[in-house]
Amino acid sequence: MEASHIHIQEQAIAPISDERFDLIIIGAGIYGLYAAKTFLTICPSINLLVVESLPSVGGVWSKDRVYPGLRIQHHSKFFEFSELRYEDVPEIDMDYNGRGYLSGHSWCQYFQAWAEKVGVMKHVRLNTRVQQVFRQSGEEYLWRCKIDDNHSLLSKRLIIATGIASFPRYPDLDYSKFAGPVMHHQYFGERHGELATEDIEEVVVYGSSKSSLDAIIHLAEAGKKVKWIIRKEGRGPLWIVDLKGSRSDVILIRLVSTIFPSPYQNDGFSGLHHFFKQTFLGKALQKYAYEKFGSVLLKEYKLDGPEVDEVLVPVIPKYSPLWNHNISGADNYDTSLYDCIRSGKIEMIRDTITSLEGKSVTLASGAKLTTGAVVFATGFKTTIPFIAEDLAVRIGLPSTNYPEEYLEKWRLLEDEADKRAYKANPFLKSAPKPPPYLLSDPEAGKLRLYHHILPTDPEFLDGSLAILGSFSAASTLQSAMIVSLWAAAYMFGKVELPSQDEMEKIAAYQIRSHQIRNPGMINDLPWVGFEFLAYSVMMLKELGLNPWRKKGWYSELIHPYTCQDYGDLAKEWVEKHGTVESPGSPAPALPKPADS
Ligand SMILES: Cc1cc2nc3c(=O)[nH]c(=O)nc-3n(C[C@H](O)[C@H](O)[C@H](O)COP(=O)(O)OP(=O)(O)OC[C@H]3O[C@@H](n4cnc5c(N)ncnc54)[C@H](O)[C@@H]3O)c2cc1C
């Protein structure tokens, strides 16, 4: 039995009042545990607790969420921490499929081995869900995390690392009268067995996210007849990208990162940014790359030309995959999506579900489908349910209830940000507009965080709060390493912040740049894709560390970045700045006055 389980049982026996910590981290996924490792390296005496609602660590990659068929979306060299190489854990069953993609199950084992090795497991409390978070102004323990009616955890500092995939978004449908299993894809790991029974022959999968693809392929491989329903007014079908050869590398190559629109152009390669963004030839090359990438994929999958199969027409995305008018996903399956559609194992329908009853699904067109089960692959909410609306607004987290004066202030900031984004990246003027339904979505909420980590409200810039994993990155692992260190340095008062006005302008600019660049993801957390390496340079510079990690400029420009290039950043930071002997209370460098 794991130590953390024993801990939980002991608590159940002894009545506990409020426990106190220097730092609480909510979420034991990649970001939460990497943050724990980083804080323990910088301040070994820190009394920290990672709170996790599931019975195991790993978040999306925990034992409780992985299922057969879930595979990582890149070459495994990009999903390997620098502290532990795959070859150092020979006991792990490295299950690659025929296309070379590692299974979620293997990665889950690797992540657990990594967590043991870096010594964070003894700080994790599993099966513990934070119900609500309160801010206790004026108190030493500023944050109260309510676990149940009788038990809260108090902390001087709080890190929210609940990820982009913790709070399922359901369609507005009453499915209580449906006579079979209905589940959101978040629970597929736990419940996919319910769909395996012989009496379920047909399954409806609703939505066009990457997880819809994971679900339909898994079900088709299991011999089910799948009806894949994508709303007519929605983002439409997603691109799938075969990351064969070195394609997986491209997004983490510095030269490539200078080509595409980016709010982070101060990465030491401003000449290249200027060429690609501001000159006639550079812009023509950007246009060519956008068009070429789309046409190459269409050709590869035989989705272009007059001979294209009629059943495949609804599956063809409208805009280049580089625009992210819908999400793109790696084609990490042994089974071909398009062959499944050709053979009728998967039928794609553009329609909206209006009701579910008995064994039947009714669509807006009036059609009725018979099905044994329904899977909602309808994405995730960006709002965090354990944070009250008014607190969420002040922190800069998405809300469904913004005060008018707040909206007005951010409207002005975002208008200015748009002008700046188009000026810095004129090619963005050719971006497609977001699908209208996204803009009118009542759940539409925007994150307004500085560097995707900090609130901009001065009351919350006291070094006591950071939000990690609030964006999707080209490399989740590299991002976790860098943002964890930046957050720790900030919380110990070692990062210089600009004035509050400037922080708001920067936050608006960063977020709007990502939204214009990825119009289909306007209500998702920001996608920091080709821009990620430049974002890393900005963060490492602010930490006083070398942001260019390759040997020589040629290598810097041409060779893709992996975690190994960063080594142990927290140790490197400690060598430069020393350890923090006592965590004390948060003592940040507050934002500079506006006129400085
Ligand atoms: C199906 C799927 C496939 C993906 N594939 C890839 C991929 O191949 N490559 C990639 O880079 N990214 C992928 N992602 C993105 C994924 O989000 C990241 O890989 C990574 O898991 C993010 O880590 P995280 O720590 O931010 O969040 P998570 O892994 O989601 O961890 C957050 C943790 O917070 C916990 N939590 C939430 N609320 C509470 C609460 N109230 N109290 C206590 N604990 C709480 C959750 O239980 C969870 O364990 C995928 C996502 C999904 C959903």
366 vs 293: CA distance, rounded Å? 38
- Split at pLDDT 50, 70, 90, the class of 7 is very low
Ligand 1 centre and the CA of 104: distance in Å?
Answer: 12
- Check if 166 has its Cβ closer than 6 Å to any atom of ligand 1: yes
- Split at pLDDT 50, 70, 90, the class of 446 is confident
Selection from 33, 53, 217 nearest residue 115 by Cα: 33
Q: Does 221 have pLDDT greater than 50?
A: yes
Instruction: Give the number of the atom of ligand 1 that is nearest the alpha carbon of residue 473.
Output: 11
Ligand 1 centre and the CA of 28: distance in Å?
Answer: 9
pLDDT tens profile 337-391: 999 999 999 999 999 999 999 999 999 999 999 999 999 999 898 889 999 999 9
Ligand 1 centre and the CA of 44: distance in Å?
Answer: 26
Average pLDDT, the chain: 92
pLDDT of residue 14: 41
Q: Does 169 have pLDDT greater than 70?
A: yes
- Protein residue closest via CA to atom 52 of ligand 1: 60
CB atoms within 10 A of CB 550: 15
What mean pLDDT comes out for the span 46-65?
A: 97
Distances (CA, A) of 517 to 255, 316, 342, 356: 19, 21, 33, 36
pLDDT of residue 138: 82
- Split at pLDDT 50, 70, 90, the class of 491 is very high
Could you tell me which residue, 373 or 6, shows the higher pLDDT? Answer: 373
- Protein residue closest via CA to atom 25 of ligand 1: 29
pLDDT of residue 342: 92
Q: Does 587 have pLDDT greater than 80?
A: no
pLDDT of residue 590: 64
- Least confident range of 16-25, 248-257, 264-273: 16-25
pLDDT of residue 174: 95
- Check if 54 has its Cβ closer than 6 Å to any atom of ligand 1: yes
Ligand 1 centre and the CA of 58: distance in Å?
Answer: 7
Ligand 1 centre and the CA of 355: distance in Å?
Answer: 30
- Protein residue closest via CA to atom 33 of ligand 1: 27
- Split at pLDDT 50, 70, 90, the class of 213 is very high
Q: Does 13 have pLDDT greater than 60?
A: no
- Protein residue closest via CA to atom 28 of ligand 1: 59
- Protein residue closest via CA to atom 14 of ligand 1: 60
Distances (CA, A) of 220 to 102, 302, 515: 20, 21, 34
pLDDT of residue 442: 60
Ligand 1 centre and the CA of 32: distance in Å?
Answer: 10
Domain boundaries, the chain: 2-167+381-591
pLDDT tens profile 311-335: 998 889 989 999 998 878 999 999 9
What mean pLDDT comes out for the span 554-571?
A: 97
Residues 332, 107 contacting (CB under 8 angstroms): no
- Check if 28 has its Cβ closer than 6 Å to any atom of ligand 1: yes
- Check if 130 has its Cβ closer than 6 Å to any atom of ligand 1: yes
Ligand 1 centre and the CA of 30: distance in Å?
Answer: 7
pLDDT of residue 328: 86
Q: Does 2 have pLDDT greater than 60?
A: no
- Check if 51 has its Cβ closer than 6 Å to any atom of ligand 1: yes
pLDDT of residue 1: 33
Q: pTM for the complete prediction? A: 0.94
What mean pLDDT comes out for the span 568-591?
A: 87
What mean pLDDT comes out for the span 458-465?
A: 93
pLDDT of residue 595: 53
> Per this entry, what is the length of the chain?
596
pLDDT of residue 585: 82
> Per CATH, the architecture of 2-167+381-591 is what?
3-Layer(bba) Sandwich (3.50)
Q: Which two tokens mark 21?
A: 């910590």
105 vs 127: CA distance, rounded Å? 20
SS3 of 376, please? strand
- Check if 162 has its Cβ closer than 6 Å to any atom of ligand 1: yes
- Check if 398 has its Cβ closer than 6 Å to any atom of ligand 1: no
- Check if 60 has its Cβ closer than 6 Å to any atom of ligand 1: yes
Burial of 404 (0-12, 13-18, 19+ CB in 10 A): exposed
